[in-house]
Amino acid sequence: MFIVWKNIYIFFLLLVTIFVGCKKISTDNNTQVVIAIPSDIERINPLFSYSVNEGNISELLFLSLVKHSWDDKTGDIKTEPMLANSWEWNSDSSAITLELRNDVHWSDGVLVTIDDVIFSFDVYSDPVVESYLYGSFKCFYTNNDNHIIAERTFEKISETKLKINFAPGSTPSLFTLDFPIVPKHVFDKMPRKEIATAKENFSPVTSGPFTLEKWEKNQAIIIKENPKSFLHKDGNVKRIIFKVIPDYNARLTQLKNGEVDLAEYLKPEDVNGLKNTGSLVVTSLKGREYDYLGWNNLDPVQFKKNHKIVPNKLFGSAKVRQALSMAINRNEILSEYLQGYGELANSPISPIFKNAIDEKLQPYVFDLAKVKTLLAEEGWIDKDQNGILEKNGVEFNFTLTISSNNPRRIFAATVFKNTFKQLGIEMNIEQLELGMLIDRINNKSVDAWMASWIIPIPLDLKFSWYSNLATTPMNFPSYQNKELDALLDKLETKISWQQKNEIYKKIEAILYRDQPVTFLYWIDNIVAYNKKIKNIEVTPLGTVHHCWLWQ
Amino acid sequence: MKSSALFLSLIKRLTTSVFVLFLTVSFLFVLVRIAPGDPSQKFLSPNLSPQLVERVKSSFQLDKQIHEQYISFLKNALTGDFGVSYSFHRPVNEVIAEVLPFTILFSLSAFILQLIGGLLFAVLAFRYHQKFWDKFLSRGSLFLYAVPSFVSGLFFVYLFSVQLQIFPSSGIKTVGTLENNYFFLLLDYAHHLFLPVLVLSLTGLPVYFKYFRENFEENQNKLFTLYLRANGISERKILFSHLIPNSLNSIIAYAGVDLGILFSGALITEVIFSLPGMGRLAVGAILQRDYPLIIGCTLTAGVLIILTSLLADLIRLKIDKRLIKGLLN
């Protein structure tokens, strides 16, 4: 028996020795960067870049006509040439003429031409394709299906010169041209319906500063530098590995170990441990995501019965919503849970848009005495002395629905519940799986909920705050205000940049006053990266943005 | 028992299994569709047009009645087509076929380790009956059984990956290296899979240990053991030639089902070690409301459990032919 155990011991000793040796063989070099991502991407085709990571990877593999970067001084985006060398707007901005580069090739050697550009606009807007940009080409000549009418939109002036005509009355910008161009010679061969499942989505023909080296499904996406690209520069990063690590703790461990060079969405409580490693830089991306407490502005029972819009008995009044916002001690959560990695939110307009916000606007102050006064003014009084406020026989009793497995929101909900109880407001907490929660919010069947909102760049508020609920499905609180609608409509007319910013300030004032939801706090995306990466810029446009410039 | 009777029994058992699978899949088909949430939810985003959601619903056929969807599903399923995954955009069969070999390799390794480990430790405990090793292993196995795999997983990662830096903390191979050398590739796979296999087997090992040990103890007091001992047969021969074979019967029945469950995925271990297995695939499909993939994963798991259970019964039958009536009915 002893011999058996001895053999087993020797076997394991041998195994460990080999593995230690193996570890040394597979050491990474300094010209590659490993980025941790929580889940694999679905396709490598910019037409279907539905997720952030798909967008990031597409941006590195496919060129757009122009590129955008963040100007921190103005708090706005700035446009620079990419596939288009230069451009010229006509006098009334109803058309733009682009001069394209003639030295860009697809990874299979074919030249990138104007035909690829026209094809891209066509295919992105084709309803059959279901691209992530479908329905967003409002500035162009389109048919009833929102499909761009190529004949009216494009004029091929020469092999490198293209004129794009926009629909009358529209307000186009260079941002409407910023999407990756796809190869016509690859996708034109197949029926449009089949592009979504084409094998070319897994082994793409690309044009960007990187090419796909390998995609190990559910493990990693490896891209390598494209020396033929005009963006290529010796000394910059040669290889980027997007490593799929679903478990947060595993991502953290590998970041500390040096197996991973960059990770995002880290927790504030882990920051000190990361800093202590000495090999990591910890920074944060601000102003892209905020948490909010949603109040159902309409009566869910009436809405379910006959889609009738009747103000909610509890949250239908702006004064009550103001009171509830004042009853929430946001600073407590900000300091205890976010540990400074966030700031109080006044409205859906992020502080990163420096010219669009009213800096004089002060956050609602936690003031329980004022809350009681406001609620009493609205008729919410505890007449029967049972500890719960009532009005017209209705008790102030509601359920706050949150997604399960989100410790920050569970913590915040508990803080709110305790405070509301002191005020005579009975709040129950219901935790649901995210899919179920979205379903309930969509159906407008929840009283109140807590969720987060990621803001788009450039700023766009109409899709979530316009009163028409049929055309604005993402107006989840069902807030309706004609004054706001008029301002949102005016933003779509031809007005100056200064006028736009003035309108944004007016919109902010209305939303601040009416509190259709309680805007809680902007949450920083905490990013840690290895000190070996130089020339990295963490801006509101993202961390993995223009990373061909990394050294 | 004649071979024709055995064949008929097998056919009967397989027919019942297919019927059970059909009922399970049909029930699941309806259940996932009436449950809250739908696959178009992920297209509800500030960056996407609301019109896209309607297009997607239509292309997933979610705008049709459930019975229409079901009939269409059955027609396709009969030809072996289980649809295209909403999240992978490839046929479900292809997606499952991609992770299944790894799952089988990973689960089978853990299964063999826990079976052999359980047997070895049971033999050791039996040899030192009521002595230190027996007590130590009995209590130790109880401890191991009580420790959830996410705790042992994180502990092993901390010890072997963070502190000792002997094993990698995730993945099935070193990303992007060692591509052309098959020997190192094999070694790299083993290097990466050592910890996950160990963690996965630790939950099952105490069960097999307990099974074997209890069986040895039970059988050692039976008349045939006493008879062998009275005839001067050595303890070693009694153990290896009589006690172990006699213990196998009930253990194989359990092992058949256990292996099938292991093949269906080991979610926690797969998540901790970032492994591309059936567990992660199935849970991802559920969270994303990827209906065709949910059905595909369920069907695959069902088939594997039925097959491993049948295989276990056939092995038992080989060992003891008296069991045929009970086993194959």
Instruction: For residue range A123-168, list pLDDT tens digits in order.
Output: 999 999 988 888 889 899 999 888 999 999 999 999 999 999 999 9
* Within-domain flag for A239: yes
Round the CA-based radius of gyration of chain A to a whole number and report it: 27
Work out the pLDDT band at A24, boundaries 50, 70, 90: very low
What's the rounded Cα separation, in Å, for the pair B275 and B101? 12
Per-residue pLDDT tens digits for A32-85: 999 999 999 989 999 998 888 999 999 999 999 999 999 888 888 889 999 999
* Within-domain flag for A80: no
* Within-domain flag for B74: no
Residues 269-288 of B with CB under 8 A from A: 271-274, 276, 280, 284, 287
User: Do A357 and A268 lie in a common domain?
Assistant: no
Residues 228-267 of B with CB under 8 A from A: none
Answer yes or no: do A456 and B171 touch at CB < 8 A. no
* Within-domain flag for B108: yes
| pLDDT score at A2 | 47
User: Do A310 and A271 lie in a common domain?
Assistant: no
Is the C-alpha dihedral spanning B234, B237, B243, B246 positive or negative?
negative
User: Do A489 and A515 lie in a common domain?
Assistant: yes
* Within-domain flag for B288: yes
What's the total number of domains in chain A? 2
User: Do A410 and A502 lie in a common domain?
Assistant: yes
Answer yes or no: do B49 and A22 touch at CB < 8 A. no
User: Do A315 and A250 lie in a common domain?
Assistant: no
What's the rounded Cα separation, in Å, for the pair A94 and A89? 8
| pLDDT score at A547 | 87
Q: Which residue would you say has higher pLDDT here, A371 or A30?
A: A371
Q: What are phi and psi of B154, to 5 degrees?
A: -65, -35
* Within-domain flag for B68: no
Answer yes or no: do B173 and A219 touch at CB < 8 A. yes
* Within-domain flag for A145: no
User: Do A500 and A548 lie in a common domain?
Assistant: no
Question: For residue B191, what are the domain limits?
Answer: 2-36+80-328
User: Do A282 and A406 lie in a common domain?
Assistant: no
User: Do A361 and A235 lie in a common domain?
Assistant: no
Best mutation target, B134, B191, B270, to test chain A (most A CBs within 10 A): B191
What's the rounded Cα separation, in Å, for the pair A293 and A516? 9
Mean pLDDT of chain A: 89
Cα dihedral B8→B13→B14→B19 (10° resolution): 130
* Within-domain flag for B57: no
CATH code, domain carrying A393: 3.10.105.10
Q: Does position B179 have pLDDT exceeding 70, yes or no?
A: no
The first and second tokens of residue B193, run together, are 């899979």
What 3-state DSSP class applies to A144? coil
DSSP A391: E
Work out the pLDDT band at A9, boundaries 50, 70, 90: low
User: Do A334 and A462 lie in a common domain?
Assistant: yes
CATH code, domain carrying B188: 1.10.3720.10
Per-residue pLDDT tens digits for B15-47: 888 898 899 999 999 998 888 878 877 776 666
Cα dihedral A525→A528→A533→A539 (10° resolution): 10
* Within-domain flag for B63: no
Work out the pLDDT band at B217, boundaries 50, 70, 90: confident
Per-residue pLDDT tens digits for A242-283: 999 988 988 998 899 888 999 999 999 999 999 999 999 999
What's the rounded Cα separation, in Å, for the pair A421 and A410? 17
The first and second tokens of residue A454, run together, are 């990621």
| pLDDT score at A8 | 58
* Within-domain flag for A352: yes
What's the total number of domains in chain B? 1
Percentage above 70 pLDDT, chain A: 95
Question: For residue A504, what are the domain limits?
Answer: 289-523
Chain A nearest CA to B276, separation (Å): 6
* Within-domain flag for A379: yes
User: Do A536 and A511 lie in a common domain?
Assistant: no
Backbone angle region of A340, left / alpha / beta, with phi > 0 → left and psi within -120 to 50 → alpha:
left
Identify residue B305 by its one-letter amino acid code. Answer: I
Instruction: Please give the angle made by the CA atoms of A119, A121 and A125, to the nearest 5 degrees.
Output: 115
DSSP H or E stretch at residue A240: strand A239-244
Per-residue pLDDT tens digits for A379-433: 999 888 888 999 988 999 999 999 988 888 998 999 999 999 999 999 999 999 8
Mean pLDDT of B96-125: 91
* Cα distances (angstroms) measured from residue A265 to each of A248, A286, A454, B253: 9, 12, 13, 46
For residue A464, what are the contacts with CB-CB under 8 A and spacing of at least 6? A348, A453, A472, A474, A475, A476, B46
CATH code, domain carrying A276: 3.40.190.10
Work out the pLDDT band at B244, boundaries 50, 70, 90: confident
Is the pTM of the predicted complex or chain greater than 0.80? yes
Best mutation target, A11, A242, A247, A436, to test chain B (most B CBs within 10 A): A247
User: Do A311 and A336 lie in a common domain?
Assistant: yes
- CA-based nearest residue in chain B for residue A199: B90
Question: What HEC string does A338-370 produce?
Answer: CCCCEEECCCCCCCCCCCCCCCCCCCCCCCHHH
A507-511, B29-33, B235-239, B323-327: which is most confident:
A507-511
Best mutation target, A147, A218, A239, to test chain B (most B CBs within 10 A): A218
